[in-house]
Amino acid sequence: MNWGSLSEFVAMKGYGLYVWGSYGVTAALMLLEPWLARRHRQAALRDAATTSAEDPT
Amino acid sequence: MNRPTRWTTFAAPSRFFGLAAALNPWLWAVAGLLTVAGLYVGFFVAPTDATQSEAYRIIFIHVPAAWMSMLLYLALAFWAGLGWILNVRMASTLARAIAPTGALFTFIALWTGAFWGKPTWGTWWAWDARMTSELILLFLYLGYIALVTSIDDMVRGDKAGALLAIVGSVNVPIIYFSVRWWNTLHQGATVSLTAAPKMAQTMLLAMLLMTFAFWAYAFAVVFTRAQALALERDRDADWVRQLSQASREPR
């Protein structure tokens, strides 16, 4: 175990800004991208549904 | 649906859509579990580095992201090229689906590199061969996306994109070998296929776990985007009509 307390963990021996600045941005982007991709797929499915409703051939 | 499965089976967008739908929950589960395991080993098992203290822990996302940025570019060029040569539109669609994820990992590699360079080298950025060629990779991804989305004729867009992707793939070995060919501020390879890794076992384990997590993530998100693009592209096809009607029916 590397850390005695939560504050030690957050501080990262003075490198907190760099470690969490890296991990924070990475996590944010890797949560955002799947959310956007799923929204894209839902929109595509919805668009296809309206197209086929207008043109029921 | 009793046709035999061949290597060309999933070139049919409807079959690809079904395959992606079946695999995606598993890919997300694998990505999640490996991320948890990788972060646990990376932060709680791997020891503090003797020279870089805790700043080195950025390696657990920096190196996997950089590997993915190069691997995804080669995958993009491969599928774009295959789509062009064999006239398979699902392959071209897959190439289009890979591009944003590749750009994302390239950006993450550059961003985490800057946040690692500042405390260890004293600078966010240097125009050395490794960093400059990785920045060019980001521009190649963005250029590919801009090119294929700006051409309304999908097939022409696919071909133009494939040409750009294949020519641009020359950059990938330049990135990979840049630390060997030039004198760079960036350090040499920590892990190679031919020599024993120059790092502690637990550090290596955390890095590999995060690499496979990113890999599963990339598959899952690319499949999701490929599904969306296939739906858009085939909006008048029967399989899309059936799918969209099924999605509107009350359950």
B46-87 per-position pLDDT tens digit: 999 888 899 999 999 999 999 999 999 999 999 999 999 999
Torsion over CA: B170, B171, B174, B175 (sign) = negative
Kindly list the domain boundaries of chain A, sorted by start residue: 6-51
- Structure confidence at residue B244 (pLDDT): 85
Does the structure show a pLDDT above 80 at A1?
no
Nearest to residue B42, comparing CAs of B185, B157, B211, B166?
B211
In a domain, residue B250? The reply is no
Whether B38 is in a domain gets the answer yes
Q: Which residues of B66-87 are buried (b: 16+ CB within 10 A; e: fewer)?
A: bbbbbbbbebbbbbbbbbbeee
Helix, strand, coil % over all residues of chain B, rounded to 5 = 75, 0, 20
pLDDT score of B246 = 83
The whole domain housing B227 covers 17-48+55-240
Q: Give A54's pLDDT tier (boundaries 50, 70, 90).
A: low
Residue B9, domain member (yes or no) = no
Question: What pLDDT is attached to residue B139?
Answer: 98
**What is the pLDDT, as a whole number, of residue B59?**
95
Q: Would you say residue B118 lies in a domain? A: yes
| Cβ distance of B54 and A49 shorter than 8 Å | no
- B225 at interface of A, judged by CB pairs closer than 8 A: yes
pLDDT-derived band at A47, boundaries 50, 70, 90: confident
- Give a yes or no: residue B122 inside a domain: yes
> How far does the CA of residue A37 sit from the closest CA of chain B (Å)?
5
Among candidates A9, A12, A37 on the partner chain, residue whose Cβ is nearest the Cβ of B221: A37
**Which of residues 114 through 173 in chain B touch A, CB cutoff 8 A?**
115-116, 118-119
In the predicted model, residues of chain B with pLDDT beneath 50 are none
| pLDDT of the residue at B200 | 81
* Residue A43 in this model has a pLDDT that exceeds 70: yes
Give per-residue pLDDT as tens, B98-109: 999 999 999 999
State whether B111 and A26 contact (CB < 8 Å): yes
* Owner of token pair 């950059």: B171
The structure's pTM equals 0.92
- pLDDT of amino acid B16: 94
Residue B5 lies in a domain: no
Output Rg (C-alpha) for chain B, integer angstroms.
20
Total tally of structural domains belonging to chain B: 1
Cα dihedral value B174, B177, B179, B183, nearest 10: -70
**B102 in a structural domain:** yes
The predicted pLDDT at position B54 comes to: 92
